[in-house]
Amino acid sequence: MRVLLVDDEPLARQRLRQMLADHADVAIVGEAEHVEQGLELIRAERPDLLLLDVRMPGADGFALVEGLHLTPRPYIIFVTAHAEHALEAFDAEAVDYLLKPFDEERLARALERARSALATRGGLRYLERFAVTAGRMTRYVPAQEVDWIEGCGNYARLHVGKAAHLVRTTLAALERELDPSCFARVHRSAIVALDRVRELHSLGGGEYRVRLADGTQVPVSQRYRENLR
């Protein structure tokens, strides 16, 4: 999901960058400090989603919405310290309205709403790479390099050869975002890359295991076995 930040406060944009780094499917394609700059970047980058402040020097966030003449139009999450604009925001068809200060869980819920809206519209691209953040460094891992993905609650562990990377997203979200011709959910806690699968073994009782190209064995439940066909 391609995201553009429009907020005149550098610290607010920095905090958003840090929080968004935990979401593997989010790529920040630009940042703007005011409406005119925001409109220029939107036309150039065609983001899927705007994280948009309301009050900025000069024109406000609603002026930016009025200036959007794109089809499809990016979805909008307003991010502001002012509660009184909520009704106006939803009249502008915003997918959510975040009041500062908000926490990571609240932002995650807003992003999930945006993902659902994109999927309904059909504009959601399959995930091509993961953003893996460690300290101050962000590494981008191409999806085609991933062997399998292990669910860990609200996180997912990417297994890439002998390396493993933890990203903040759920398997349910990844199942929607990954190309189904390349990846399959095989268990409540596992997604595998189909081109890595070499063998399927029955263990009895409706349980199975797949052996991947590197010898790794991943559980397969009866519920998801048909996804391997």
108 plus 210 within the same structural domain: no
Looking at residue 122, what is its pLDDT?
63
pLDDT tens digit sequence for 25-38: 899 999 999 999 99
d(CA 191, CA 227): 10
CB atoms within 10 A of CB 27: 17
Residue 57 phi/psi, 5° resolution?
-60, 135
35 plus 99 within the same structural domain: yes
6 plus 75 within the same structural domain: yes
Q: Dihedral (C-alpha) 67, 107, 114, 28: value to the nearest 10 degrees?
A: 60
Looking at residue 108, what is its pLDDT?
92
pLDDT tens digit sequence for 162-193: 999 998 888 888 887 888 889 999 999 999 99
> Considering the chain, what is the average pLDDT of its residues?
90
Looking at residue 89, what is its pLDDT?
86
Domain of residue 171 covers 146-228
d(CA 58, CA 187): 52
**What is the CATH classification number for the domain harbouring 6?**
3.40.50.2300
117 plus 6 within the same structural domain: yes
> Does 127 reside within a domain?
no
Domain count, the chain: 2
Domain boundary (73, 106, 121) is at 121
94 plus 198 within the same structural domain: no
CB atoms within 10 A of CB 64: 25
pTM given for the model: 0.58
> Does 132 reside within a domain?
no
Q: Dihedral (C-alpha) 111, 116, 120, 124: value to the nearest 10 degrees?
A: 50
Q: Write the DSSP assignment of 94-123 as a string of letters.
A: -SEEEESS--HHHHHHHHHHHHHHHHHHT-
Between these two residues, 70 and 116, which has the higher pLDDT value?
Answer: 116
CB atoms within 10 A of CB 211: 15
> Does 139 reside within a domain?
no
14 plus 100 within the same structural domain: yes
32 plus 71 within the same structural domain: yes
pLDDT tens digit sequence for 107-151: 999 999 998 888 877 655 688 888 888 777 888 899 999 999 999
